[in-house]
Structure 1
């Protein structure tokens, strides 16, 4: 196991370093602006290293476990599609509807494979919805140093426990690759993940959740707990923007983590979100054998607590005169 971790952490670190060299050479730079949360021009596209590491891991698992090769192949096709459209978008902005179309294609490939291999139409529908949803959630939430990679690593840790004898190895590769990327992005960002990484990581998390759910049955609700921080912040912020009649698909800095980061800085916010997710991992670790009803009640309470913190952060932002929140 430790050799596997070391390999993919090294791939994540080396790939990120190479991506930074390429970004600087190609002038692939994120400039500060009113719709961004950083104040220093920073290269982007480092997430391609995580994508490459996870693709290698998926290929290795497909070879090692031939019966799982069709699912591994579908996963890889979807990951490549989302990373590819993100890579293009990092170089020249594309229509959000074109990106969404590619996300839907990748989700459909995953859903078809789940239906064809596992024979579960409901799980296939969940795969499609979760893949489209988390691809965009991770893209929305990749706005401050370390946030997207640290949350992906923590969710992957939960999936190592819950993913079963095969897919837990893919979750471990994702965890290790994110750990390899993080020193370049946190606490000081020498490179950003970019759309190539954020969307693809969201897709990978969604696919791993669905594959873990295939073996968890009624306990699948546990998988929603580690996702709470991102699901609550992105979901409530999106709903508020829709209610206000805003162009919800355009870039903005209205998420709770962005409002909070303007007050206390990137590092503290990223760590606070990490603590919230770590607490959910403790719950996941110790309640795997309890009844389904208790899991659902605990999940509802956890999401309600997240919604309360979202409201509190947004309210505090308004009271302190935040011009955007």
Structure 2
């Protein structure tokens, strides 16, 4: 296991270095602006190294474990589709409709492979919905240094604990790859994930979570705990912007983590989010063999608490704007 983790850590680290060099040569830079949370022009697209590490893992595991080839194949095809459209968008902005259409195709491929492997249409539906949601949530939440990659690392560790066999190794590869990328993105960002990387991570977490639910449906409920910070922040912010008639797909700085970062800084907020998620991972590991009713109760309490924090941060931002206008 140690050599497996080290391999994917190195693939991601070396790949990130190469991606940074490529981005600088091609002038693939995110520039500061009203809809950005950073202050200096920064290369983007480093997440391709994480995707590359995952694809190496998928090929190796499919060769080693023929019984999982179809499911791993569907996972890999979907990952390539999401990463490819994201990387294309990193080079030249694409219509949101095209990006969502490719995401839907990737989610459908994953869902079909889950249906073939499990024979359970509900799990196939879970695969499709979670892939669509998490692919975009990780993109929305990739706005300050280290946040998206550190959250992925923690969630992948939780998935590796829950899963077994080849899928635990794949989750471990994702965690190791995120660890290989993070030194280039946190605490100072020398490169960003880009849409290809953030979308690929979200899709991978969705696929791994669905596989975890195949033999053990309650696992899907427990996995909602480590996802709570991202799902609440992205979900409530998206709902608020939609109700206010804003274009939800456009870049902005209204997420709770962005509001918080303006007063506390990127490093503090990333560490605070990591502390929240690490706590939920610990709770999940300790209590996941307990009755499902406890998982439901803990999810309700956790999401309500996260929603209160989001609401307070939103009020703080509104008050700041009102005071500034006066």
* TM-score for both structures, normalised by structure 1: 0.98
Question: 1:321: Cα distance to partner?
Answer: 3.2
**What is the alpha-carbon distance in structure 1 between the residues aligned to residue 188 and residue 220 of structure 2?**
36
Tell me the equivalent position of 2:296.
296
Residue 178 in structure 1 maps to residue 178 in structure 2: yes
Tell me the equivalent position of 1:48.
48
Tell me the equivalent position of 1:233.
233
* Deviation readout 1:244-300 (Å, 9 max, x if unpaired): 111112111110001111111100000000000011011111101111111110111
Tell me the equivalent position of 2:144.
144
* Deviation readout 1:49-71 (Å, 9 max, x if unpaired): 00000011011111111010001
Tell me the equivalent position of 2:62.
62
Aligned-pair Cα RMSD in Å: 1.2
The answer (yes or no) to whether the contact 1:219–1:295 under 8 Å persists in 2 is no
**What is the alpha-carbon distance in structure 2 between the residues aligned to residue 165 and residue 75 of structure 1?**
16
**What is the alpha-carbon distance in structure 1 between the residues aligned to residue 269 and residue 68 of structure 2?**
39
Q: Within 5 A, what are the aligned runs for 1:107-146?
A: 107-146=107-146
Tell me the equivalent position of 1:94.
94
The answer (yes or no) to whether the contact 1:164–1:215 under 8 Å persists in 2 is no
**What is the alpha-carbon distance in structure 2 between the residues aligned to residue 252 and residue 11 of structure 1?**
32
Corresponding residue SS for 1:321: helix
* TM-score for both structures, normalised by structure 2: 0.97
Tell me the equivalent position of 1:166.
166
Tell me the equivalent position of 1:256.
256
**What is the alpha-carbon distance in structure 1 between the residues aligned to residue 47 and residue 201 of structure 2?**
8
The answer (yes or no) to whether the contact 1:219–1:292 under 8 Å persists in 2 is no
Gap runs ≥5 in structure 2? none
* Deviation readout 1:189-227 (Å, 9 max, x if unpaired): 000110110011000000000001112223431011110
Tell me the equivalent position of 1:282.
282
The answer (yes or no) to whether the contact 2:162–2:219 under 8 Å persists in 1 is no
**What is the alpha-carbon distance in structure 2 between the residues aligned to residue 299 and residue 216 of structure 1?**
17
The answer (yes or no) to whether the contact 1:5–1:172 under 8 Å persists in 2 is yes
Corresponding residue SS for 1:188: coil
**Paired residues, what number?**
324
Gap runs ≥5 in structure 1? none
* Deviation readout 1:3-52 (Å, 9 max, x if unpaired): 11110000110000000010111111111111111110001100000000
